[in-house]
Amino acid sequence: MGFYSIVDNRAWNSLMIVTEEFKRYSTIKKRENNRIDLDAKEHGILSIYTSYKVMNKWMGRVYHFKWNCVIEDRKPDSDHSIQLRYGGNLFGKREPQFHSKTNVALSKLLNQDKELMEICTTIDFEKLELKYSKKDNTWDIEFWPNYGDFIWILIPPVRYFRKPNSEEITKTIRFIQKMSSLIKKGEFL
């Protein structure tokens, strides 16, 4: 049992608390260490789970809350990668925009969807990336929202995490549904 095991257990409890906020939209199917699987069939996708990306810092740790969704798609003929970036000026509104070197058509379709752009503005993702694997015929969508992180610092002693509010919960589920819908339509090919 290491020094960080107590902190890891507290982070794991925080992960469960945050994920349970989504019970209204999806059933929790499986709980493993640092991963909670939800019922993906309720959303018409292959899998959906929450987990933490652990980053060691001097005198502390940061546990970044992240979602992973896997959507089946047999249409693309090669691997693809699309990232969300935010632009704008320092004191103005941040503008989300999807970028891709391998699938410009899909990134353009995503950028033109007003509801999707509004969700990306509201949630303010730290990271959002779509990766298509031709070998697996799946899109893996990984996104880190601005809620759910667990932060622990030894000196001064600080422990912090934030649950999502009701708007963030609704918009997260809507984001997953919207991405699934756009990918399954295949209008970007």
Could you read off the pLDDT of 34-65 as tens digits, one per residue? 899 999 888 889 999 999 999 888 888 899 99
Per the listing, tokens 């809507």 go with 174
Q: With residue 120 as reference, give the H or E element that holds it.
A: helix 114-123
Percent share of the chain, pLDDT over 70: 96
60 or 165: which carries more pLDDT confidence?
A: 165
**Residue 28: is its pLDDT beyond 80?**
yes
Q: What are phi and psi of 61, to 5 degrees?
A: -145, 150
3-class state of residue 66 by DSSP: strand
Nearest to 11 by CA among 56, 71, 68, 51: 51
- Indicate if the pLDDT at residue 13 is higher than 60: yes
**What pLDDT shows up at residue 163?**
93
Q: How confident is the model at residue 124 (pLDDT cuts 50, 70, 90)?
A: confident
What are φ and ψ of residue 15, in 5° steps? -60, -45
What is the number of other CB atoms lying within 10 angstroms of the CB of residue 62?
17
| Confidence band for 3, pLDDT divided at 50, 70 and 90 | low
Residue type, 38: L
